[in-house]
Structure formats: structure tokens, C-alpha cells
Amino acid sequence: MSNEIYAVGLDVGTSRVRCVIGENASDGRVNIVGVGESDSKGMRRGIVTSTEAVSESIRRAVSEAERVSGIEVDSATVNISGEHFQAENKAGVVAVAGATKEISEDDIERAIDSASAMPLQPGWEIADRLPQEYIVDGQDGIIEPLGMTGSRLEARIHVITSPSAGRQNLIKAIGKAGLDVETLVIEPLAAAASAINDDDREYGCALVNMGAEITSLSIYSRGAIQHIAVFPFGSTHFTKDVAVGLRVSIPQANRIKHDYGCVAKYLLSDDERQEVIEIQPVGRTETRGLSKEILCDIMQPRAIELLQHISREARKVPAQISSGVILTGGGAMVRGMCEIAEQVFDAPTRLGYPEDDHFSGLLEQVQSPAWAVASGLASISLEHSLKDEHGHSMSAGRRVAEWFEGFRKKIK
């Protein structure tokens, strides 16, 4: 790269790899200067199954983004996901050191360490520690206690654990593609970085990121993450249902889903319900007609089933989602998904994607729920680069993340 500050977000998904290159705009937004995507090979449910295949997919996506931007990149901020991710809320308390009882960075770090002290399964590691709030001498709701006076500091954090092999294999695949990893970001956090705003975080929202084989739920309230859950299903379920129901191949079923799929029958007009789609069953040379209404009858029950499963998990969390539900990921693009989700969750629902409040440049090319993760990663990458460039003081959470990143590099 040149001496200018560039941001690179690399979304390595199960079905697609997407790369976003951005730079710092004068108005504080991320100016997108390059985008690229490719079919993803060698991934299953967020886990690397073939490092060489993943590396080739990454190279194609990054090369396209480099060609568009005219910038050669050597590192990226990358998402990490997987069905085995586990998350829980933890709390830790420490006595404030020092005669003046002024809370220092060391006190905050000790409180976070105390909260995240937990036994781990063999081969597992702490993937992230996300501060929710601090309590100083019984006063809760404190976001940044540094410099405050008190004798007792309590930290409440959201701890995410995962198998360490998944992270290590992803880093190896990215390295084979000729890139360094700036930092790894949990996928739902990356989607949130581009799809939700401060009001959503404060008043409460549920972010559902639906990929091909993995769907994540993250719930925000009081300005912080309250709950994360990962489900081993995604939009591929629709493709398989169409393939079985219509006796067509998986590639044809995928095209039918993208071109004609709908999961809310009431959205179809009378003419659309009778509209005929030509399909070719497996092993047949002749084609036959299929009405859009029948296609919807196949897809709608699956959409309701998946969303109900997510909704049941969301109801376990004692947090209001006054800002509603935000859908991101390629699976959210199926026609009618937003409308069905609004009924299932009984909450206002919208699609989440990069908007012009935070992004500029090639915005039209990423204004889709499918690009929320890649754009969010680019935003996080730029934020970290600017902090490092200008020497801004880092939050305790950022310091903890860097400490863990350094620790991980030592044990690789």
C-alpha cells in the first residue's frame, strides 16, 4: 500500500467472498474506492475445509477490488464465524488501587480479566471480550470509567468462545492468498458496524445476519451487545427445498430462488401467481411449467420455520428491541423475508445495508444486505488505522483485543 490510509474489509463467506477497499473521506465517512467478489470454495458453515480453495477464492475477490481501485493491498480486516461459537455474559469485581481511588487503565483491565476468567474446553479460546457496562460503587450504566473516583469497580462483559483451529486455519488460508490479517472480527459485529446506528444500540435492536449456511443473531440494548447466538442454517435451505420439490439440480434451484423466489404469498399479484416459470427436471430433456404460486408454497414454510427458531432465541433475552429487527446477509434478500420476519418477531423490521451516513464513493455497488459484513469490516479497519495513525488513546476493549491478538500470534 501507499502511505495513505486505506481500509480493506474481507468477508469470507460460505458461498461468496467479498472485498471492500475504502479510504478516509474528508467528512469522516468511508469512501469506497474498490469492490470485488467471487464464488467461495473450501468453506462449510463458516469453517475452512480446504485452505487452497479458500485462498484462490480470496485472491479472485481481492484482485477484482484492486483492479477497480487501482490500489494494491497487503492486509485486511477479516470476519470469523462458525456454528460452534458460544457467548455468555460475565461479571468481575476488583478494588480500585491507588491512594486517590481514581480508576486507571490497569483497574479496567483487571476488572475485565476478572470477568473473563473461566475454564475453557481443550482446543477452545476466547474469541472476543465485549464490555457492556461498568459499575462504580454501585452506580451502573457507566460506559467509560477511566478517571472516575471510586473504590469498587465491576465490569460486565460479553465473552465469546470458539475452537482455536477455525481461526488458525482461516489465517493460514488468507496468508496463502498473500495477505496479512489486520484483525479478526466476529461476523455479527462486522454486520452491525455498517447496518445499525447509535439509536439502535441504545434503544434495543435484533440484528439477524443470514448467510448461506450460517445465521447469527445479535441483540443490542443500552448501547452495548447483550446476546449473540449462531444457528447452523441459512439460505441454502431454500435452495435444497426447491431442488427436492421441483426435481431440479442445485445450480438451477439456486437460480430459480434468486430470480423468482418469494416467501410471502400475499405479496404476489394475481398475475404473478399464475405466471409460469420454465424448469428442466434432472435427467429430462424436456421442460415443464411451474407457477410462481407453487414456488412460494415451497419456500414460505421454510422461511417461517427458520425465523421462528431465531425469534424463540431472541425472546430468551430480557431486553426490549424498540428499534426492531434488522436483516443482513445474502439470505435477507429473498423477496418477502422482511415482511415475514415482521410478523414472526412482532416488531418493526427492515433490511440493513451500508448507507450514505457512513459510506460514500461506490456506494451503489454495496447497497445490499449481502455487503453489510464486508463494508462493516472496512469501516472497522479504517477506524483502527486512524487511531493508530493519530496516536489516539484506545478504549479498554480495543486494548484487550490487541492483547489477545498479540497472544494469538505467539501461540500460532
Neighbours of 371 (CB within 10 A): 30
Torsion of CA 214, 227, 110, 139, to 10 degrees: 160
pTM of the model: 0.89
| DSSP code of residue 268 | S
Please report the pLDDT score of residue 393 as a whole number. Answer: 41
pLDDT given at position 355: 83
The CA–CA distances, whole Å, from 230 to 186, 405, 410 equal 11, 23, 28
All domains in the chain, ordered by first residue: 86-164 (3.30.1490.110), 197-351 (3.30.420.40)
Q: Which pLDDT does position 391 carry in this prediction?
A: 55
Give the Cα separation of 61 and 373 in Å (integer): 15
Distance of CA 307 to the CA centre of its chain: 17
Check residue 125 and give its pLDDT: 94
pLDDT tens for the 412 residues of the chain, in order: 444 678 999 999 999 999 999 999 888 899 999 999 999 999 999 899 999 999 999 999 999 999 999 999 999 999 999 888 999 999 999 999 888 899 999 999 999 999 999 999 899 999 999 999 999 999 999 999 999 999 999 999 999 999 999 999 999 999 999 999 999 999 999 999 999 999 999 999 999 999 999 999 999 999 999 999 999 999 999 999 999 999 999 999 999 999 999 999 999 999 999 999 999 999 888 889 989 999 999 999 999 999 999 999 999 999 999 999 999 999 999 999 999 999 999 999 999 999 888 899 999 999 999 999 999 999 999 988 887 765 544 443 444 445 445 544 444 4
Size of the chain, expressed as the number of residues it contains: 412
pLDDT of the residue at 314 = 96
Q: Cα angle at 35 between 253 and 325, to 5 degrees?
A: 65
Residue 28: per-residue pLDDT: 84
What pLDDT sits at residue 80? 94
**Closest listed residue to residue 43, CA positions, set 30, 33, 57:** 57
- The grid cell for 347 is 416488531
For residue 97, the model assigns a pLDDT of 87
For position 296, what pLDDT does the model report? 96
Q: How many CA atoms lie within 13 A of 273 on its CB side?
A: 8
Phi/psi of residue 254, nearest 5 degrees: -65, -40
Tell me what pLDDT residue 405 has: 52
